[in-house]
Chains A and B, each alone.
Chain A
Amino acid sequence: MRSFVSGFAVAASIAAASTPMSAVADPAPDVGNWQSVLEQARGQTVYWHAWGGEPRINDYIAWAGGQVLERYGVEVVQVKLTDTADAVTKVLSEKTAGVDDGGAVDLIWINGENFAAMKRNDLLFGPWVEETPNFDYVDVAGKPTVINDFTVPTNGLEAPWGMAQVSFYYDTAKLDSVPKSAQALLEWLAKHPGRFTYPQPPNYMGSTFLKQVLTEVVDDPKVLQQPADEVDAQKVLAPLWGYLEDLQPLLWRNGQAYPQNGAAMRTLLADNEVDIAFSFSSGEVSSAIEAFELPDTVRSYVFDSGTLGNTNFVAIPYNASAKAGAVVLADFLMSPEAQLRKQDPQYWGADTVLAMDKLPADMQNAFANLDLGIASLSPAERGTVLPEPHPSWMSLVETEWQKRYGVVQ
């Protein structure tokens, strides 16, 4: 009952807040003068558009919102998206309608293609990131992807929030040994046809698998760091299509059907429909076990020659209504305290963007003492992090994949 009453309070406050667009434009905060940012932010409400498919992440966001409200008087409302591109669409439709101030989106959880598209279309506010206080802790030297989002320079338009790296997982009760390269996977699958699949591109997990293979089979991986139109893309991609030619018939359902996302693939493993699956965070596998989604005998591993890794960010649209509030929130998200909780699998289990050696000693200890969870890989176990190809490769691979394998009938 209590929650229902408070629900009405929330409802009423939304109704009050959603009066027709305020004509008052939010002046761009002067991030260099942090005190002025804090003053401007106080009392603002930040609408943070973030994928809402994972209850644990939603809980973490709610916690961060509570902290920022308590400390800086900034209210945070998570707008739960099914797809980050919905927020991009929203900003775009506002630009179409000439709403250059007072937009609906204040902060977006973003990376890769979505960021590249927003940057290309001038839909972002900034640069602001490098002047925020907590950016000093960020591991720019050790983790180059915190300022290069899929090779695209972030130019201070988005603040790093978390690290992700592909890891594979399997049920140790069912498999004794696992293939540790793209080539080995193919050979293993020839002996166990139908026991592996990947989410259907253009789902980003599926595209990530294709990029992982591409990075392994391509003659010279360095080429992938350039935009695809600067090289002979056909020739570069040829080994990938050769690999898939062999792989596709061996997939689950003979490649006639695919899981639609990483979560659906996880369910296939839980149902014993496939033997090997993969994710962008081994911490996620631990928490899936915790949530009864996977048996507790599941463990993670990476390929011998490394797996793709990247960074995810938060960015502020050019027409946001609460830019100062969004900057304050983004800065808090990079703080050692927030990053520590984020890495704790009890709450989320995603890797920090911070450099341990830049942190105060007590925080270093706190990070070192985290229990990462039974199916999580420690930084040492994670091996080499391979860089993401330039986003143009992803578009190219997705389009070509769709032509070759997207229509099976």
Chain B
Amino acid sequence: MPRKRDLKKILIIGSGPIIIGQAAEFDYAGTQACKAIREEGIETVLVNSNPATIMTDKGIADKVYMEPLTEDALIKILKKEKPDGMLAGFGGQTGLNLSMAMEDKGILDELGVELLGVNRNSIKKAEDREEFKKLMLEIGEPIPASTIATSMEECKEFVDKIGYPVIIRPAYTLGGTGGGFAYNDADLKKYATRGMESSAIGQILLEKSIAGWKEIEYEVIRDAKDNCIIICSMENLDPVGVHTGDSVVVAPTQTLRDKEYQMLRDASLKIIRALEIEGGCNIQFGLDPVTGDYVVIEVNPRVSRSSALASKAAGYPIAKIAAKIALGYGLDELTNYVTQSTSACFEPVIDYIVVKFPKWPFDKFRTASRKLGTQMKATGEVMAIDRTFESALLKAITSLEVKCDGLRVPYVTNLDDDKLMKKLADCDDERIFCIGEAFRRGLATVDDIFEMTKIDRWFINKIKNIVDMEFTLAKEKLNKNLLRKAEAMGFTDSEILELSGVKREVLQDMRLYHDIFPIYKMVDTCGGEFDAATPYYYSCYDTEDEGVRGSRDKILVVGSGPIRIGQGIEFDYCCVQGVWALKELGYEAIIMNNNPETVSTDFDTSDKLYFESLHMDNVMNVVRKERPEGVILQLGGQTALNLAPDLDSRSINILGTHFSNIDLAEDREKFSNLLHELDIPTPEGHAVTTREEAFEIVEKLGYPLVVRPSYVIGGRAMQVVYDDDELMRYLKEAVSLSTEHPVFIDQYIVGKEIEIDGISDGKDILIPGIMEHIERTGVHSGDSISVYPHFSISDEVADTIIDYTKRITKALSIVGLVNVQYAFDGDKVYVIEVNPRASRTVPILSKVTGVPMVKVAIAAMLGQSLKEQGYGTGLYPRSANYAVKVPVFSGAKLVDTDMVLGPEMKSTGEVLGIDPNLDKAIYKGFLAANMHIPTEGTVYVALRDYEKNDNSADIIRAYNAKGFDICASKGTAEFLNERGIPAQEMSMDEYKEALEDRIQLVINIPTLTNHSETLGFAMRRLAIERGLAVLTCMDTAEAFLKAIELKQKNTDLDYRLVWE
């Protein structure tokens, strides 16, 4: 069946901002889909509010609407564009939900738009618990005893019948939000209530728990002719009970006999056929390790995180093929993109093992419970490929950037035996390290650990092999055989050095003399059976090296690793742009990265892809193999930049800004001195080692102050303090003060925060735009709403900023990208920070201004002057649009984390609101961030003392004037009443009750954050869980008023293309 000829124009729905459970994988899938459709000569129209994505860039889709993913926006865009078809299966749950809404409203029928790939029926049957259950019963596929409930009574009735434990899952949610295990009545009440609340339709599934069974996943593709194939099978190391997004996952399955494998394969085909999916889908099974019985856990009728992983693991581009199928192609009419000669209708075979390891945000959210369960907590993941499980696991671990060189992390190593065993039993993010440590201390046998964790003994035995090798290295004299064995098992040089006690030179010489270096093998989808044309490599210590060094000049781009808070998809955007720019300039562009979710690790993005850990050892091995002309570090965020000292000391050519200047910009003291020399103001700061010293500084600088420790011990890190009490409390509670661990105290400049991104060729600088933050200084730039272009500062201030930027850039001899953050206190402009690398806002400015920043930067790094490049120098002419970046928090996922704005970043993603009118752009930004914008009802207000001022009173008065009733905490109510604002005092109990109906918005500026025992924390959580907006900065509250005003007026929004 060739493709449907009547399709001339197709609209693709993106997935919007990155949140836990819906991350970079959809940029990867969407980009592939756009490319696959466009190459058919079909016009593509993309709607996505996420500016950090590759898919929203010029050249991927024909038309891009960077607009909120709301029903209103989509209806208007559909009406305007009149596409022939719509693809919803590439935008995650957001895409599916929106497409369902369009169908429900009859829009698609009205406009004659065909829903491609998925259909209403498949979505409903796969996602609605009851329908799914019915279907499974119909086709005879086993599912756990379960019931659908919309009330507590129904829950109780079910449990009375089948007993505990039960698992609770809400219907229609992302990443398992709101689910949990209940072992007793109290658990049941807690999770059932929360689940019903977080479900879009107030519906939950109660299910007999199969915790402890093996969790197996299959990625399946089906075409309209009913051809079905399995792309990849995956086995979760963590048994059922831990969300697959939080599990260590291997591909292919390891502990299944062929019979078991085929049994689940048959079931997968049966299910995808019954659902009539045309495209990709993910099916999860539970397999009883004792009886071999299985149950179907869940089906995702679309591409997902798992399909991105499966695509990278097997080398088979699922999204691309799924898009082609949506156009009508049969699998047997398509070619295998990797071999370019064989058919796409085959099942990839793997001749290596893949380990996926989640990346959790607990280093940022130190108070969050690290315990893993049915609710996903990871923000990203890494993948490693190798010939054995041990080496793939160790590679994955060193990819996590948790400061470890092997299966040991200091925290676990330092636990006493009891605490260690307790932590092991607790199932948290460090369990694998605990297992290793338990073996190391001889506290448990393989069987003991199996009993405690239910992790299959196969995995436990392999972990034990790693520990056994540690002992061997410590005990035996290092010789060539042992060294080769240890390296082949995935041990890093640092780990071997530490365990064996030999000197680095000795190790180096042994490697050289005996030629113990990794070789590179190709990922080819067919286990070597056919010739492959795709340059996708992984390292291993085996015999035949398949890596062939090309003859062209080559440049290595180091990627940004897993998605985490503070380092998101925007850096992958920069790396991909960088690779493309290098290709255009005629270089062989080589990338190394370890993130399976991203576009940078797609097999056809670069000229050569090394899917590798970004540990120094692995980077050096690739450098040794390829001997590139230069290495680019400034695109891969802090991950890549952190490699600069080591690469520089080995005399490896780092392109762009010289290492000594990177170091200068990153060293607080040196940089401060430089600014003094340049006569550029910067907040004064000092390091203190005693309380006395701290208070001396207070004398000198005065409050407020920014305080942060040089060494984080848990508890709080950076904070703004306003008086002696707060400072004292900080010094006492949050940090241990000593000469080894000083605390930095900086002057806190209260005022506007302004940020620029620029490109320099060493002589001139091009500044695409200036961005002004809505929130005052003290809020991390990643968490503040920022507006391009600047809208409130005077030309004089802007000129000063440009002048300072030019001088700093010159002094640091910046070549390539630079980001500078400023504060303006109404009088003076201060430099807060200079980042000599790509920043979070590069994709935004590139898209809004049309200056391809990374491309220009790459050309500059390779010697082309800015003047030659034709984008001019100095400040680029402003665009006709305002662009408002609004951060998005995954607050609903991390129940014990306080999403209060402050100096530490907490958001996981961002959206952009674009409009020629600033207020409308702001409104669009809030809409795109999916914030609940009320038009009536009650606003609850609680302000810290410092905020009880005129400005706050004016803002609350404005809310009142817009028709909102004001309720407040005791102190705040008194303050507001004094200012003539009618505010009703409200107790916690009243608040809880009022949340159910009256309260529509919470404005809460807390004194203490992240203290789960405080009342404020509980209040904020309750509101977040009810889907209300909780504003924790008065500036946000002020901006939010604009959105409310426009919504109250029923303002009609225009949705436009980013580029006409």
Q: Do A and B bind each other?
A: no
Please list the residues of chain A having a beta carbon within 8 angstroms of any beta carbon in chain B.
none
Please list the residues of chain B having a beta carbon within 8 angstroms of any beta carbon in chain A.
none
